[in-house]
């Protein structure tokens, strides 16, 4: 099935994966042949992009159109103080390539919207959500349902985070959980975006973990489940999500 092999340097780089039960060289080859799109390079995307790059995903696409602000540095660990004002996309691409030159990094200097989402998403096997707004999440979900791509959702607020995997051909889609409402919440103002800095690190790492598991072919996924983390309680809770037959995106 696989036409590629791992070269001696890859065998050394990924030796801790190769020794893993249910992973091995086949799992690593699957990562090498896979492509992942990461939408947004903030707190979540900083972490998921670093782990997916170091894990050896063959092609990683990055979408971001913002610049580094001083108040990003508390949680957006891809960037440093001297980089305030610079393009997050250019910095991320440069650092991820340095981290693992075997990974092909492709940059998309846009904001994902209904006009460009289909063409971008169809280049990738899976989408990881590093955004912080409902409008972009709705666009990601619609493209993923239309193209039958898995969508790994993550969100953070205050001391809480949540993560799930949506794949409409196998379970609910994101809009089954968050249906469009006439009173769509307004985007949050900066002062409402309070979050403990380690919460996006936990959720971003969980998103990368679920992406790796799906690519390698591990059976247990978060399809149909929402995993909720609370830092104050030091607790994880997993709740079921039902597919909505009347869903405006994936319902029939
Ligand atoms: Zn749905």
Does 219 map to a domain?
A: yes
Q: Please give the Cα distance from 87 to 78 (Å, whole number).
A: 12
Q: CA geometry: angle at 153 spanning 169 and 65, to 5°? A: 120
Residue 20 lies in a domain: no
CA of 6 to the centre of ligand 1 (A): 39
> Do 60 and 107 contact (CB within 8 A), yes or no?
no
CB 136 within 8 A of CB 112: yes
Does residue 198 register a pLDDT over 70? yes
**Ligand 1 centroid distance, CA of 134 (Å):** 15
Q: Is 165 helix (H, G, I), strand (E, B) or coil?
A: strand
Rounded distance from Cα 126 to ligand 1 centre (Å): 17
Q: How remote is the CA of residue 247 from the centroid of ligand 1, in Å?
A: 5
Tell me the C-alpha to C-alpha distance, in Å, between residue 27 and each of 32, 33, 52, 183, 216: 9, 10, 14, 45, 5
Encoding tokens for residue 168?
A: 């409409």
CA of 99 to the centre of ligand 1 (A): 37
- Predicted TM-score of the model (pTM): 0.96
Residue 188: which domain range? 34-240
User: Which pLDDT tens digit goes with each residue over 104-141?
Assistant: 999 999 899 999 999 999 999 999 999 999 999 999 99
State the distance from the centre of ligand 1 to the C-alpha of 249, rounded, in angstroms: 5
Residue 248 lies in a domain: no
At residue 186 the predicted structure's pLDDT band, cuts being 50, 70 and 90, is confident
* Residue 1 pLDDT level (bands cut at 50, 70, 90): very low
C-alpha distance from residue 224 to each of 143, 221, 228, 238 (Å): 19, 9, 13, 10
The CA 140 to ligand 1 mean position distance, Å, reads 13
Residue 190 pLDDT level (bands cut at 50, 70, 90): low
Q: Is residue 22 part of a domain?
A: no
CA–centroid distance, 90 to ligand 1, in Å, is 34
122 C-alpha to center of ligand 1: Å? 19
Q: What is the pLDDT of residue 192?
A: 72
> CA 84 to CA 81: how far, in whole Å?
6
Give the domain CATH number at 230: 3.40.50.720
Q: How close is the Cα of 138 to the center of ligand 1, in Å?
A: 11
Distance in Å, CA 178 to ligand 1 centroid: 9
In terms of Cα–Cα distance, which of 166, 231, 179 is closest to 203?
A: 231
- Rounded to the nearest integer, the mean pLDDT of the chain is 95
Residue of 8 and 5 predicted with greater confidence: 8
* pLDDT at position 59: 98
Burial class (CB in 10 A: 0-12, 13-18, 19+), 22: exposed
What is the 229 CA–ligand 1 centroid distance (Å)? 23
Q: State both tokens at 210.
A: 């679920």
Q: Tell me, what DSSP letter sits at residue 191?
A: G
Closest CA relative to residue 37, chosen from 144, 168, 166, 175: 144
Name the 3-class secondary structure at 2.
coil
On whether residue 29 sits in a domain, the answer given is: no
pLDDT (tens digit per residue) in 200-226: 999 999 999 999 999 999 999 999 999
Tell me the C-alpha distance between 132 and 171, whole Å. 23
Between the CA of 3 and the centroid of ligand 1 the distance, in Å, is 36
pLDDT at residue 101 tops 50: yes
| Residue % of the chain over a pLDDT of 90 | 90
Q: How confident is the model at residue 3 (pLDDT cuts 50, 70, 90)?
A: low
- Please choose, from the candidates 59, 3, 11, 65, the residue with its C-alpha nearest in 3D space to the C-alpha of residue 39: 65
Determine the Cα–Cα distance for residues 212 and 45; give it in Å rounded to an integer. 15
pLDDT digits (tens, 9 = 90+) for 168-185: 999 999 999 999 887 766
Written as six digits, the tokens of 186 are 């307004």
Picking from 6, 27, 52, the residue whose alpha carbon sits closest to that of residue 211 is: 52
Q: Is 13 within the bounds of a domain?
A: no
User: Quick check: is 150 in a domain?
Assistant: yes
User: Distance from the CA of 156 to the center of ligand 1, in angstroms?
Assistant: 22
Residue pLDDT, tens place only, 30-41: 999 999 999 999
The CA 25 to ligand 1 mean position distance, Å, reads 36
Domain total in the chain = 1
| Residue 114 Cα to ligand 1 middle (Å) | 17
Domain-located, residue 252: no
The pLDDT-based confidence of 191 (bands split at 50, 70, 90) is low
């Amino acid at each position: 099935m696989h036409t590629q092999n791992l070269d001696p340097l890859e065998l050394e780089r990924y030796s801790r994966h190769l020794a893993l039960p249910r992973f091995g060289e086949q799992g690593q080859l699957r990562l090498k042949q896979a492509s992942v799109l990461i939408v947004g390079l903030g707190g979540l995307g900083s972490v998921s992009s670093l782990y997916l790059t170091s894990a050896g995903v063959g092609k990683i696409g990055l979408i971001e159109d913002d610049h580094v602000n001083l108040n990003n540095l508390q949680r957006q660990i891809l960037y440093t103080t001297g980089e305030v004002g610079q393009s997050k996309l250019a910095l991320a691409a440069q650092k991820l390539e340095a981290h693992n030159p075997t990974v092909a990094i492709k940059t998309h200097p846009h904001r994902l919207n209904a006009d460009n989402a289909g063409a971008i998403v169809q280049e990738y096997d899976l989408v990881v959500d590093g955004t912080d707004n409902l409008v972009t999440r709705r666009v990601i979900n619609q493209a993923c349902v239309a193209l039958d791509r898995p969508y790994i959702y993550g969100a953070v607020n205050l001391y809480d985070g949540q993560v799930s995997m949506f794949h409409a051909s196998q379970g609910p889609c994101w809009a089954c959980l968050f249906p469009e409402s006439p009173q769509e919440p307004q985007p949050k103002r900066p002062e409402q975006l309070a979050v403990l800095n380690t919460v996006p690190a936990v959720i971003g790492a969980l998103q990368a973990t679920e992406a790796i598991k799906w690519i390698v072919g591990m059976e247990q996924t978060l399809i149909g489940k929402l995993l909720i983390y609370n830092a104050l309680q030091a607790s994880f809770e997993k709740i079921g999500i039902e597919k909505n037959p009347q869903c405006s995106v994936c319902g029939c």
